[in-house]
A = this chain, B = another copy of it.
Amino acid sequence: MDDVDAVRERKILVAVDGGEESMYALTWALKNVISQNSKDTIVLLYAKQPPVVFTALDGTGILRPRSFSGYLFSSDIANLAKYRDDLAESVIERARRLCRDLNNVKVEVRVEPGDPRDVICEAAEKVGADVLVMGTHGYGLIKRALLGSVSDHCSKKVKCPVLIVKRPNN
């Protein structure tokens, strides 16, 4: 049992996204796992979903995203990219505020591009997380049914302890 980490100087990786589930998980961890007086650092991790893949095979010169029935002009693409950036920023800002209000703890932020499943597993390794905290609904309903939940995937793959927090009545 000698290799169990001590309480101090832990890195607590919390995966956040636009859903209430991840904010609930963060709140729960702040109240139940993170010590007020310790040297804990919360690492807020946001996975920025990859951009739609564009193809222009119909000779129009207008970019057409796969899985999208209409055409997109460059202004639309810029708007989409801006929307993704704004969303990431607003989620991180909300998570930061929770950390400040509930448990004035040290916070680091990582916004990384990619599928949440890969981003979270890789970050846990890179950061050297002592524990990974997640909500349960990182994907939409259909994608979750096809791929399994993000938390299922990560709890199997990640080596550090994983805390899965369900939002009540979900």
Within 8 Å CB of A35, what residues of B?
35
Partner of A164, one of B6, B28, B155: B155
- Asked if B32 and A131 sit within 8 Å, CB to CB, the answer is yes
Render A129-159 as a binary contact track against B, CB cut-off 8 A, 1 for contact.
0110000000000000000000110011001
* Complex-state Cα separation, A27 to B161, whole angstroms: 12
A166 to nearest B CB, angstroms? 6
Question: How many of A's residues come within 8 Å of B, CB to CB?
Answer: 32
Contact with A162, one of B24, B131, B163 (Cβ below 8 angstroms): B163
Which single member of B6, B10, B160, B165 contacts A161 (CB below 8 Å)? B165
Say if the beta carbon of A1 comes within 8 Å of chain B. Answer: yes
A2-26 interface (Cβ within 8 A of B): 3-7, 10, 23-25
Specify the chain B residue showing the minimal Cβ separation from A25.
B161
A61 within 8 A of B: no
Q: Is A33 an interface residue when CB atoms closer than 8 A count as contact?
A: yes
> How many whole Å from A15's CB to the nearest CB in chain B?
14
A31 interface contact, C-beta 8 A: yes
Out of B155, B156, B163, B168, which one reaches A3, CB within 8 Å? B168
Q: Which of A4, A28, A156, A159 has the most CB of B within 10 A?
A: A4
- Highest count of chain B CB atoms <10 Å: which of A6, A32, A131, A156: A32
Residue of B whose beta carbon sits closest to that of A165: B161
Bound-state CA distance A31–B166 (Å) is 23
Q: Which residues of B contact A23 (CB under 8 A)?
A: 1
